[in-house]
């Protein structure tokens, strides 16, 4: 009877070990590559202090591709394009003898931005497996051009009072926090807030007030 009981216990123990091994082997490996799309309120500003000409665009739609070095560290590259045109009556000046001077403003701004981002998730092994908080830091090269023109019209005659343009490579640095939610093995949703914004090479008024948010989804390849 004892022999039969011991045999039964050993059989159960063996089955439990085998089952544990089978569960462990079904754990999916880390999917390192991913692609994604993001909707963001961030603006990319360009400014040339020597020419005193600049501007910015808010592209909204961003495309991303990333690589997970580890569960706590991601490297990501993004791509977005924005364009803005202005052609409007900016003001009316009423002078002496009922004279009227119309002021006009024209311009075009376009930019191709490539955010290079590092995402760090501290204590990733202790955070919730579905809901995680990451810190983000981005260096954003901006390939763009800016053109502005101002003119005034008096008695049907228009005169250009200002006309200047600039083009080249600009740059900004941003940092913030990102909340990640695991929808499935393939899909991850996220919400992001940028708390820091700095133009490289100069200071801008926009940088002092720039706080932006974004939402998106990543697909694990």
- Specify the number of domains making up the chain: 1
Q: Does the residue 166 lie in any domain?
A: yes
pLDDT, tens digit, 9 for 90 and up, residues 132-155: 999 999 999 999 999 999 999 887
- pLDDT one-digit tens code per residue, 179-221: 999 999 999 999 999 999 999 988 777 787 888 999 999 999 9
Write down the pTM of the prediction: 0.78
Does residue 23 belong to any structural domain of this protein? no
Q: Which two tokens stand for residue 86?
A: 């202005």
CB 59: neighbour CB atoms within 10 A? Answer: 19
Residue-level pLDDT at 3 = 44
- Closest by CA to 177, choosing from 128, 213, 205, is 213
pLDDT in tens, 106-134: 999 999 999 999 999 987 666 667 889 99
Q: Is the separation of the CB atoms in 118 and 26 below 8 Å?
A: no
What domain range includes position 108? 30-220
15 found inside a domain: no
25 is a domain residue:
no
Exposure pattern of 138-149 as b/e (b: 16+ CB <10 Å)?
Answer: bebebebebbbb
Q: What is the pLDDT of residues 51-64, one digit of tens each?
A: 778 889 999 999 99
Residue 138, in any domain of the structure:
yes
* Beta pairing partners, 33: 67
Query: Do the domain assignments include residue 119?
Result: yes
DSSP 29: P
Report whether 94 contacts 117 (CB < 8 A): no
Looking at residue 211, which CATH number applies to its domain? Answer: 2.40.160.20
Within-domain flag for 17:
no
Distance CA 157, CA 163 (A): 17
Q: Which of the two residues, 145 and 50, has the higher pLDDT score?
A: 145
Residues 6+ apart with CB under 8 A from 218: 34, 35, 36, 64, 66, 187, 188, 189, 190
Q: For residue 10, is it within any domain?
A: no
C-beta atoms surrounding 53 within 10 Å:
18
* 216 close to 80: Cβ distance less than 8 angstroms: no
Q: Provide the mean pLDDT of the chain.
A: 84
């Amino acid at each position: 009877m004892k022999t039969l009981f011991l045999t039964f216990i050993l059989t159960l123990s063996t089955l439990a070990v085998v089952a544990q091994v089978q569960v462990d082997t079904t754990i999916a490996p880390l999917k390192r590559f991913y692609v994604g799309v993001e909707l963001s309120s961030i603006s990319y500003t360009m400014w040339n202090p020597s020419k005193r000409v600049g501007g910015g665009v808010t592209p909204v739609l961003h495309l991303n591709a990333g690589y997970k070095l580890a569960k706590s560290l991601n490297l990501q590259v993004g791509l977005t394009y924005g364009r803005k045109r202005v052609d409007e009556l900016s003001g009316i000046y009423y002078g002496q003898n009922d004279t009227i001077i119309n002021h006009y403003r024209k311009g075009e701004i376009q930019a191709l931005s490539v955010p290079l981002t590092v995402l760090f998730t501290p204590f990733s092994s202790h955070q919730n497996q579905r809901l995680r908080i990451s810190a983000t830091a981005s260096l954003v090269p901006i390939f763009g051009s800016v053109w502005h023109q101002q003119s005034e019209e008096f008695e049907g005659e228009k005169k250009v009072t200002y006309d200047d343009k600039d083009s080249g490579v600009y740059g900004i640095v941003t940092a913030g926090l990102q909340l990640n939610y695991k929808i499935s093995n393939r899909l991850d949703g996220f919400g992001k807030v940028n708390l820091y914004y700095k133009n490289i090479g100069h200071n801008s008024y926009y940088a002092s007030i720039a706080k932006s948010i974004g939402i998106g989804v990543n697909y694990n390849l």
